[in-house]
Amino acid sequence: MIKKFLPNEHVKSIFDIHPAILRQKGIKGIITDLDNTLVAWDVKDATPEIIQWFKLMNEHGIKVTIISNNKLERVKIFSEPLDTPFVYSARKPLSQAFKTVAKNMKLKKEEIVVIGDQILTDVLGGNIAGFHTILVVPIVQTDGKITRINRKIERRILSYMRKKGKISWEE
């Protein structure tokens, strides 16, 4: 069971994920979380750097869909200027939203990566649904109420995995 919480990869930020490397691995699609993965949870719009990252993925033919547990207004305000498909109120870690996005992308599971900053929602959900998962360090160390609870649980899981030699990175 603990394996379901373990990401396939860990990077410091979304900017450490490069389209050429993804393409070499056969990746054609990204399912990404929004809050604390792309921008801080309390930042409304995409930063110039994020806009450039989305443009770069598009230029390399990599489809990107944002999947968030947040409300429609939050996700729509961020996603529409990027002309990026999105799913709101996704109910992560349940796998249905992940599977629906893959179907809409018309890609196989092995052609998609799931990127997020939370083990209990993004990594667990992506792993349950059968995708390659990449954990990013949260952009800011503050969170909304529910996420704060998740972070406490995540710290325990990460500590356990570190002690068992399953992970080697530091927070």
pLDDT tens digits for 25-57?
A: 999 999 999 999 999 888 899 999 999 999 999
Angle at CA of residue 129, ends 65 and 44, nearest 5°:
30
- At the topology level, CATH places domain 2-141 in Rossmann fold (3.40.50)
Residue 58: pLDDT over 80: yes
| H-helix or E-strand spanning residue 167 | none
Structure tokens at 61: 């033919």
Tell me if 103 sits within 8 A of 82, measured CB to CB: no
Q: With bands split at pLDDT 50, 70 and 90, how would you rate the model's confidence at 146?
A: low
The pairing of strands 86-87 and 112-116 is unpaired
Residue 125's SS3 state is helix
Average per-residue pLDDT for the chain? 90
Q: What are the residue boundaries of the structural domains of the chain, listed by start?
A: 2-141
Mean pLDDT within 6-28: 95
119 or 161: which carries more pLDDT confidence? 119
- C-alpha span between 160 and 125 (Å, rounded): 20
Q: What's the confidence (pLDDT) of residue 1?
A: 63
